[in-house]
A and B are shown apart, each in its own frame.
Chain A
Amino acid sequence: MSKDQTIGEALRARGVSRRGFLKFCAATASMMALPPSMVPVIAAALEKASRPSVIWMSFQECTGCTESLTRSHSPTVEGLIFDTISLDYHHTLQAASGAAAEAAREAAMEENWGKYILVVDGSIPVGDPGYSTIAGISNMDMLLETAAGAAAIVSVGSCAAFGGIPHADPNPTGALSVRDLLQQYGDRKPDTHSAVYTAHSTDVDVKNKPIINVPGCPPIPVVITGVLAHFLTFGTIPELDELGRPMAYYGKSIHDRCYRRPYYDKGLFAETFDDEGAKKGWCLYKLGCKGPTTYNACATTKWNEGTSFPIEAGHPCLGCSEPDFWDGGGFYKAISTSTEDISRTAVYAIGAGAAAGVALGALNRAKKTRAVKAHQKVGIDDLEKDG
């Protein structure tokens, strides 16, 4: 497959019909909350777009994000969209290994410096870089080097976006998200770097590289492809929220779009996983559902080609697309409950209050006793002041 092919050419070569292509464009437009009139624009843009180089780097991750992406049932258009990019480096998917693999990365960087898209899944160990290295290069160095030449960075999955599970308390590896790492160490030159980096080292400001966070554990496949499609169509970063997530997919909470929402409003809750409420499909709030504080498209896009999503399957939302979801006080604890042991705190506080109260009470008594002792008899001659 030639790298010079446009996306349109590549799709036709793969036998994707015009109708299928437009359907994908329409789905993309709707996901991005664009009006239907934008569908031809998207189609035309994608048709003509040349296939950009994509470098996919996996750090401290579980490959779940890649699994999610590849499990989008072939031959769906979402799968095929990968023919519209030039995936030049991806541990799991590439055939090359070792020095050849790194050479491919460097070649792609050299050829597309300033234009390639860097996709990252996994968090980066900063506390002890030895926890994760590739070809002897620390994740931090490889990220700093590769980010330097990227047009934009897409952090796929909650680990890359927010630190994810490696970042969970007590965070033994000192894991950071891509955004945090670039913000904290973006002005630092990688200790180990390639000749490509040296050649371009004049523009290595990675602190302000555009970063799109696509969190989720894993993220929804169509959301990953949709974000890429936006970038290809408009050549710009989609509108993001404060956490760097595309508003089109992460603009509303699960709770807001949940089909079980009416039960919440009526106060009908499943109390256990097998009670009458659970069978009737009532709200899972009491079982710890994090839908009210979780932003993602699960409730509308759903999973496995729109088949279902966790809440529909009877399980509360874990809040996996939110920062620190792993430390949110237990998956099965309702949001309104405390993440700490309040009853123990209460017992200690009452005990301490009683002890302090007895002590202060004794002081008060002593003071009162002094006042009683100081009392001088008031007789009829003591009712007026002298003079």
Chain B
Amino acid sequence: MSASLQRGIDAFKEQIDAPVAAFFSSCVRCGLCADACLFYTETGCPTRTPIHKLEPLRRVWQQEYTFWGRYAKAFGLSKPVTDEELEKWETLVYDSCTMCGRCSMVCPVGNDITYMIRKMREGMAASGHAPEGLIGATKRAVTIGSPMGVKLPALQAQIRHAEKDIGLEIPVDVEGADYMLLLSSMEIMNFPEFIGAVAKIFNKAGVSWTISSEAFEATNSGIQIGVSEIAAELVQRIVDAADKLKVKNVISPECGHAYMAIRWEGPNLVGKPYNFKVVHILELLDDLRKQGRLKTTGKESQRLTYHDPCQISRRGGVVEQPRNLIDMIADDFVEMPDSGTMNWCCGAGGGVSSNERADDLRLKVFRRKQAQLDAVKPDALVSACSNCRIHLEEGLEENGMDITVLSLTETLAEHLAED
């Protein structure tokens, strides 16, 4: 069995639901979504207008699910979706969209375009029109357990490093812990300090936690490529591990789409509610702060700003928590224009960073972030997503901007009160 146009069209038919039909029925082609999308604003290319990225899906809706569309199709008045067309759309749906959801915030008739892109990718993947890079990442995620090919021994090595650094034991596979921490491959490979930071904070706050050796990977390539079965399989691994260790909560790390995957899509993918709760690390940290279990000392003297990762803030609902936490350690905190739920995407989310073909475009649209930063000129940029972080660092370097990118959790750990 392999990918085919028919499987793609069937997937479209399967994915179209009442919201999608309501959205397509409502679009008036006003083009406001273009101005909300950094892939349009930074390239000026009208094909990158968010709603246009859905054109094949729209036609399937019209031809299959509207009373006049059936006749239009029968009489040859509306052209069927072809393989060539989907091939052309591949770069629009994957390379030119990070599913950041900004267009969904501005559409005057209320279309959640991102919701539809997510659905459209199901058909794109089923018809064999997913980008090579994402296919590779997805295969690695399923077969190896991580899109970056990180295996358990690598994690164990990083854990040992961290334990040495901070002089604390990092609990692994502890049954009955309150919290089970997930990590993204990026954190394990590029930002291992995160593990130590969490351990320090949790130790001080007296949080009972663990890492599972069976399911530590938080990211979910299945969601980015748009294959629900694969996404479900990846979520199921976490569910199984959490159930096995009988933890009460699972912590989503500093990663945007991992939060979307495990917190919001997960139960729907596996088809039943969890036996545990999912919290984002920032939610938990803010809770600890409220309970007085997280205390800091000293303030950052440099000018800080916060980059809201789309899936955590706009699509995830964690907006206030990071600001509460930054307040604890910042003397000079400034908000970028459009911050919060209207923040601009870094340009690398939604699988774009796994798709090498989109590298140039990704850096090109970074100019939007640059403009946002130029407006407030911070010394350091705090964020809570390793994927954003890597791309932000690359973009800043590429543009010769001297701004440090910080992880909020790590920065908090540095300011942890000793008492």
Spell out A's residues near B (CB within 8 Å). 356, 360, 364, 367-368, 371-372, 374-386
Contact (Cβ within 8 A) A364 B65: yes
A384 to B2, CA, bound (A): 6
A371-B10, A380-B142, A381-B2 provided; 16 other pairs, C-beta below 8 A? A368-B13, A368-B16, A371-B13, A371-B14, A374-B10, A375-B10, A376-B7, A377-B229, A378-B126, A378-B227, A379-B142, A380-B135, A382-B2, A382-B7, A385-B2, A386-B2
- Are A378 and B230 in contact, CB atoms less than 8 angstroms apart? yes
Q: A367-B65, A368-B16, A375-B14 are in contact. Are A383 and B1 (CB under 8 A)?
A: no
Q: Is the CB of B4 within 8 A of A383?
A: no
Interface residue B109 (Cβ < 8 Å from any Cβ of A):
no
Q: A368-B14, A371-B13, A375-B10 are in contact. Are A383 and B130 (CB under 8 A)?
A: yes
Interface membership of chain B positions 1-19, coded 1 if the CB is closer than 8 angstroms to chain A and 0 otherwise: 1111001001101101000
What residue of chain B has the Cβ atom nearest to residue A360's Cβ?
B67
Whether B3 contacts A384 by the Cβ 8 Å rule is yes
A-B pair count, CB < 8 Å, reads 63
Kindly list chain A residues whose C-beta atoms are within 8 Å of the C-beta of B3.
Answer: 382-385
27 A-B pairs within 8 Å (CB atoms) are namely: A364-B65, A367-B13, A371-B11, A371-B14, A374-B10, A378-B7, A378-B125, A378-B126, A378-B227, A380-B143, A381-B1, A381-B2, A382-B1, A382-B2, A382-B3, A382-B7, A382-B126, A383-B3, A383-B128, A383-B138, A383-B139, A383-B225, A384-B3, A384-B128, A385-B2, A385-B3, A385-B4
**Contact residues in A for B65 (Cβ distance below 8 Å):** 364, 367-368
Tell me the complex Cα distance, A386–B125, Å. 14
Closest residue of chain A to B228, judged by CB?
A: A378
Contacts of B64 in A (CB 8 A): 364, 367
Nearest CB in chain A to that of B83: its residue: A385
Determine the residue in chain B with the shortest Cβ distance to A387. B2
Interface size on B, residues (CB 8 A): 26
Q: For A364, list chain B residues within 8 Å (CB).
A: 64-65
CB-CB < 8 A to A377: which residues of B? 229
Residues A380 and B138 in contact in the complex (CB < 8 Å), given A385-B3, A385-B4:
yes
Contact B125 A383 (CB under 8 A): yes
Distance between Cα atoms of A378 and B15 in the complex (Å): 14
A360-B67, A380-B139, A383-B128 given as contacts; is B11 within 8 A of A375 (CB)?
A: yes
B230 touches A379 (CB 8 A): yes
Give chain B residues whose Cβ lies under 8 Å from the Cβ of A367. Answer: 13, 64-65
Which of chain A's residues have a CB closer than 8 A to the CB of B13?
367-368, 371
A379 touches B229 (CB 8 A): yes
Question: Whole-angstrom distance between the alpha carbons of A386 and B7 in the complex?
Answer: 13
In whole Å, how far is B71's beta carbon from the nearest beta carbon of chain A?
A: 12
Contact A383 B227 (CB under 8 A): yes
Distance in Å: Cβ of A383 to nearest Cβ of chain B: 5
Contacts of A360 in B (CB 8 A): 67
Q: 6 tightest A-B contacts by CB?
A: A371-B13, A385-B128, A371-B14, A386-B2, A380-B139, A383-B135
Rounded to whole angstroms, the CA-CA distance of A377 and B11 in the bound complex is 11
Chain B residues with Cβ below 8 Å from A375 are 10-11, 14
* B55-70 contacts to A (CB < 8 Å): 64-65, 67
Contact across chains for A378 and B229 when beta carbons are under 8 A apart: yes
Give the distance in Å from the alpha carbon of A175 to the alpha carbon of B130 in the complex: 76
Q: Which residue of B lies closest to A369 (CB)?
A: B14
Residues of A within 8 A of B135 (CB): 380, 383-384
**Smallest Cβ-Cβ distance to A374: which chain B residue:** B10
Could you say which of B1, B16, B138, B143 has the most chain A C-beta atoms within 10 Å of its C-beta? B1
A372 to B12, CA, bound (A): 10
Q: Which residue of A lies closest to B135 (CB)?
A: A383
**Would you give the shortest CB distance from A139 to chain B, in whole angstroms?**
53
Query: Separation in Å of the B397 CB from the closest CB of chain A?
Result: 33
Bound CA–CA A213/B36 (angstroms):
66
Which of A367, A375, A376, A378 has most B Cβ within 10 Å?
A378
Q: Which residues of A contact B2 (CB under 8 A)?
A: 381-382, 384-386
Distance in Å from the Cβ of A381 to the closest Cβ of chain B?
A: 8
- Name the distance in Å between A338's Cβ and chain B's nearest Cβ: 27
Residues facing A in B131-148 (CB within 8 A) are 135, 138-139, 142-143
Name the CB-closest residue of B to A370. Answer: B13
Q: Please, which residue of chain A has its CB at the minimum distance from the CB of B4?
A: A385
What are the residues of chain A within 8 A of B130 when measuring CB–CB? 383
* Cβ contacts under 8 Å, B10 to chain A: 371, 374-375
From residue 299 to 315 of chain B, which have CB atoms closer than 8 A to chain A? none
The closest CB in chain A to the CB of B225 belongs to A383
Q: Give Cα distance in the complex from A364 to B64, angstroms.
A: 8
Shortest Cβ distance from residue A340 to the other chain B in the assembled complex, whole angstroms = 26
> A380 near B67 (CB under 8 angstroms)?
no
Residues of A within 8 A of B14 (CB): 368, 371-372, 375
Among B38-82, those with CB < 8 Å from A are 64-65, 67
> Which residue from chain A places its CB closest to the CB of B9 in the assembled complex?
A371
